[in-house]
Amino acid sequence: MGAYRLLLAVLVAVSHMGKTFMGLNPGVVAVISFLIISGFVMTSLIERNYKAPEKVGLFYLDRALRLYPQFLFYFVASCVVIYFLLPGTPQAAELTFRTIASSLPMVPLGFYMFGAAGVEILPPAWSLGLEMCFYLVIPFLIIYRARGVAFALSASVFMAASLGFINTDLYGYRLLPGVLFMFLCGSYLYKPQAKGLAIAAGTAVAAALFFVAIMAGLIERRPFNAEVTAGIALGVPAVYLLTKLKFHRVDEFLGNISYGVFLNHFVVMYFLRAFWPVAYEGHIVATVLALSLLLSCVSYYYVERPALKLRHALRAGAKYEVGQVRGNETTV
């Protein structure tokens, strides 16, 4: 799945350079696959390491060690580039103590539309705020077997948003109430049973039909409702099929650098804007992507990998403690 994750990160970067495909924003389509993948991976992680109420705190620490090292690295890098190279811009206007302080906890980034945090310093990071919201609830949905209820409620919110009864952009793409069911589609794909697989597959088919209806004009096209439904229809089968592939080191490497590409392409774009303020033509796009990939390799090996060792130690400790508890229960 690593190569797929890197492709998704590249699509997000390309979309931020103003590129579309058949009138669709490829970055939004890609983000939906990221949500589905996250649902799958988090379910796997919790089932294997943190499936107990007393382990939820360790799960949160695990996730912080995953997201924060590169986020902080590129957030600071973006601040430096903006401060020295882009004075007087909207990005520079966000370099205030309040904006920076509210952005660092990451969760407020998912509520930037309400003024909770800034979005210009590292624009893709808004979706990390959404991810963090998902991390806060998914352990409890799994432990207390509440995924079905949460799925139904979230899908209802999404339908209301997609049809325009409530804000389509906010509740159909950016906020957890309307997208939780997309995460849960991925969750159902982990060791899928018949019911879970039917829910995920049925959601993909319904999304495909919804997308066709939007493109045919039968349903009014609203902000990103076509892209989101396309993302579900494509993402669910793609993730399901990719999880069946065997491990490969090249694929693992490509997945390792995908997070850096997702985060750093705006830093590269800001840097080049100061010296090369031209439209994003083919050679400029290629330059941004090449520099982004190179930076991501560096940040993975020198920023993320040290934290990776801590995460592995944390998971090993969680398994050991769970084993002790089970052993004690057996001897009682």
DSSP H helices, the chain, are 2-16, 26-45, 56-85, 90-93, 97-103, 126-143, 147-162, 168-169, 176-188, 194-215, 225-242, 249-275, 282-299, 305-331
Task: Give the model confidence (pLDDT) of 150-161 as tens digits.
Answer: 999 999 999 999
Using the predicted structure, report yes or no on whether residue 329 has a pLDDT greater than 50.
Answer: no
Task: Give the model confidence (pLDDT) of 15-59 as tens digits.
Answer: 999 999 999 999 999 999 999 999 999 999 999 999 999 999 999
pTM above 0.75, yes or no: yes
Q: What is the pLDDT of the chain when averaged over all its residues?
A: 93
In the chain, what percentage of residues exceed pLDDT 70? Answer: 95
Domain ranges of the chain: 2-331
Contact 158, 172 (CB under 8 A): yes
Q: How confident is the model at residue 324 (pLDDT cuts 50, 70, 90)?
A: very low
Check residue 319 and give its pLDDT.
63
Using the predicted structure, report yes or no on whether residue 123 has a pLDDT greater than 50.
Answer: yes
Angle between helices 225-242 and 26-45 (to 10 degrees): 40
Q: How confident is the model at residue 12 (pLDDT cuts 50, 70, 90)?
A: very high
Check residue 306 and give its pLDDT.
86
Q: How confident is the model at residue 321 (pLDDT cuts 50, 70, 90)?
A: low
Query: 136: burial class by Cβ within 10 Å (0-12, 13-18, 19+)?
Result: middle
Cα(257)–Cα(8) distance, integer angstroms: 12
Angle between helices 147-162 and 225-242 (to 10 degrees): 150
**Neighbouring residues of 257: CB distance < 8 A, sequence distance ≥ 6:** 6, 293, 296, 297, 300
Q: How confident is the model at residue 295 (pLDDT cuts 50, 70, 90)?
A: very high
More confident residue, 41 or 274: 41
Comparing C-alpha atoms, which of 27, 110, 32, 106 is closest to residue 67?
Answer: 106
Cα(291)–Cα(271) distance, integer angstroms: 11
Cα(118)–Cα(125) distance, integer angstroms: 10
